[in-house]
A and B are shown apart, each in its own frame.
Chain A
Amino acid sequence: MDWGVIILKKGLSYFLIFSVAIVLFGVSAEAKKTVLTPLDKRDWHVTAPQDSDAPLRDYAILYDAGGVDGALGVIGIPSMRTYRHIKCGVDLHNFPFSGSNAGNNNGTPDGKYLYVSDKGADTIVEVNLQTGWPERIFALPKPFGIHHSAALAPNGKYLFATGELTGKMLKLRLEDGATTVLDIPPAPSAPDYPDTSKDGKYVFSGNYYHSAVMVFSQDPFKLIKEIPVGKNPHGTNVSPTNRIVTVCDKLSATLSIIDVENLRVHKVIPVGAGPLHNQIDTLGKYDYISCFVSDSTSKVDLQRFQLVDEFPVHYRPGHNSLAPDNAYYSSQNKFSTGLFTPTGIVFAVNFELQDLDETSATYGKSVKIIPVDGEPHEGRMIFASYIQRWNTGKGQDLFEKGYNLGDVHVSFDNGPGIDSKTRPQLEPVHTADSKRYWIPRDDGKPGITKDGDVYVVRVKAFSYGYVPRFIHVPQGAKVRIILTNIDKAAGLTKNPDVTMGLAAAGYYGPRTMLIGVRGMSIVGEFVARKAGEFEFYCQHFCGPLHLEMRGTLFVDPKGGQASLGVGDYDEISRQETMLDETEHEWIVGTNKLMNTLNEGKEPTI
């Protein structure tokens, strides 16, 4: 054979081999690019494998009811980056996710909604987690005075809420907002923080004036028992196993353990001063308690019923939340005294992330602390995998297909909620129809005087109360409230940046929301258009007896005196000033009652 031919053939072979190698190498290099690198789970920004390997994704989302800023904060876990705020109303407190209450406080979400209570507006706001906007406002029958709406029935169709300001409890049908309202005598009565038993039988709620936990049957909805616990119970949570209820006895520095089967206190555990809220992990092993006075997170072993650890926090923890995989704990601290850069009159409060992994080098340590807007109340976490990726052209699927959680299909057509092909984008008012301004500290005598046709109401706020506690103005009056914080900020539980507030729940919520910092006074002006009895309260957390800091605004109708029975309550119940007139179709419930214990009689599981 000719050498030239041989060389040519060999060259061709080498060329082919070389080309194939390049192609294979290229393919493998390309394949390598798309293979997700399994990263260590302790890494800050690591997520479960997703449809892209974007390194900045968070594996969980903390939604926090932002209190006085009227917005939900959306915060990534574990990065603690704030993604956005969702405007919901006046003074947000807490919420459950839609779906079922099976599991720990984070429940078994379906990813559709959360239902946040607005203590300032006296409403519950439904927020669509997939669009990121409020869709409906549940307007509660008045007077009610909601504090918490933390408790969902296991079947996801009913919500239970506490009327702290009027001594009532409420069961709400999510489909249409119809309610059953129970009076809880004897006065004073303050149903506070509820949770539902996971088997659909009971609702438990602390009542701090009664120093007891009330037990209701979910269906029919009625009070069946009060169980005496430590003084001024606050956070009340049912364990995932449904075997116990853990109750923070705020003024006794203890955790009462209630045996669900026998409905009695099984054990009382000392946990630290000022226990406010508690969170049980998903396996029911540990309970984490925020201790306001001792500036700490206490950890209780629920098999041994013993305090087993305590982590310092900075400072004055109120609410708290747990990552859905129990890896992190978020302490929602009410004071940041000296920690951050000042950005205005009101100092930012903070969230502090703590590492709960006992095998980690940073176990029990604070691994991140961030300033946050408002004065957040409860937060709950959800795996980020519930929230779908509707951008990049997939938004149509939201209406037509819904989404899958594994092999379970979720659609917005199978309620509760709006089943139309409309997804509202509501932005309820935060403050409106009123005026606020700051003045140098006003040292005028507390009480009511007249300045022309204006009723001038000087109110002094301190730990823990107001002077005067009762304010009477006639319906139609122009009202000017001058609020002065006279707190001495001394003693064990006081911080120098202690802020007092005055918010009159319900109709006058968006018209008050006065912030009282030390050294100056705040003035609020509004017209008292609606008659009725309106409880006002301190909306800025100021100490262990913050909840008990209350007073009453009476707007008296012509020729009479307002009371819980005399007022424009039907009109107020419609909550029409929360939204534009064209959006009123998305206000549901109002004073539509289930009325009797027999209506809505459907098993709660």
Chain B
Amino acid sequence: MNLKRFLLTALVAVCASSFAFIANVEAGVLGNGSAITDTMQIGTITSLGDRKLDIQTKFEKNSKKYSMVMHPEGYVMTALRGQFKKFKELKKGDLIAAYGWYRDGKWIARRIDILDPNDYLVKRLAADAKAGVYYKHER
């Protein structure tokens, strides 16, 4: 093998291993959209059952679907001014923020906030997503 070829091979090997290292370091939830392990999800309710619900996430690049069960002490309230609601008062199409955690294959909701589409923060998330700054795609 001549020197030129050796150096080229070595350079390719170094670059490849560096890329693999960087890719490995960067692998994680930050910047990659929502993850099942997130303890808060924002989305629109797509189906409702007996203290169970499915949501389709909002404001991120690729919307995802999550199924949730309500914690026995998990409650529902409005995010604005904090009125308590009953679970059966939730409706398909409601935009919600769910707070809880993922455990034993289930996403357990400890609290559900019904978001107001006119709330400034919701409007900000929508405007940002429209401008390409997606929710949970931290830069």
Contact = CB atoms under 8 A, between A and B. Distances in A.
Interface of A: 41, 47-49, 59-60, 99-100, 102-103, 108, 110, 154, 198-200, 240-244, 259, 261-262, 266, 281-286, 302-305, 324-327, 356-360, 383-386, 404-408, 603, 605
Given A283-B125, A284-B40, A385-B82, 4 more contacts: A240-B99, A282-B97, A285-B124, A359-B120
B11 interface: no
A244 B99 CA distance: 15
A262 B32 CA distance: 14
Contacts of A603: 103
B86 A108 contact: no
B129 to A, nearest CB: 10
B102 interface: yes
Given A59-B81, A406-B87, A241 B38 contact: yes
B84 A405 contact: yes
Contacts of B37: 199, 242
Given A47-B81, A261-B30, A240 B102 contact: no
Contacts of B82: 48, 59-60, 324-325, 383-386
B81 A359 contact: no
Contacts, number: 148
B101 A304 contact: no
B45 interface: no
Given A303-B138, A303-B139, A358 B120 contact: yes
Which A-B residue pairs are the 9 nearest by beta carbons? A383-B82, A48-B81, A198-B39, A406-B84, A102-B99, A242-B39, A407-B86, A102-B110, A240-B40
A103 B40 contact: yes
Nearest to B70: A408
Contacts of B137: 303
A255 B113 CA distance: 29
For A108, A281, A283, A325, the residue with the greatest tally of chain B CB atoms inside 10 Å of its CB is: A283
Interface of B: 25, 28-30, 37-40, 42, 72-88, 97, 99-103, 110-111, 113, 119-125, 128, 133-139
A305 B139 contact: yes
A282 B29 contact: no
Contacts of A99: 73
A408 B74 contact: yes
A547 B138 CA distance: 33
At the interface, is chain A mostly helix, strand, loop or mixed? loop
A303 B42 CA distance: 15
A108 B83 CA distance: 14
B121 A383 contact: no
Contacts of B103: 603, 605
A113 to B, nearest CB: 14
A49 B81 CA distance: 9
Nearest to B28: A261
A243 B120 contact: no
B99 to A, nearest CB: 4
A444 B84 CA distance: 62
A284 B138 CA distance: 11
B85 to A, nearest CB: 5
A303 B128 contact: yes
A102 B111 contact: yes
Given A49-B83, A358-B120, A406-B87, A240 B39 contact: yes
B61 to A, nearest CB: 12
22 contacts: A41-B81, A48-B82, A60-B82, A99-B73, A100-B110, A102-B40, A103-B40, A199-B39, A199-B102, A200-B101, A240-B40, A240-B99, A259-B28, A262-B28, A266-B138, A282-B97, A285-B135, A286-B121, A303-B134, A385-B84, A406-B76, A406-B84
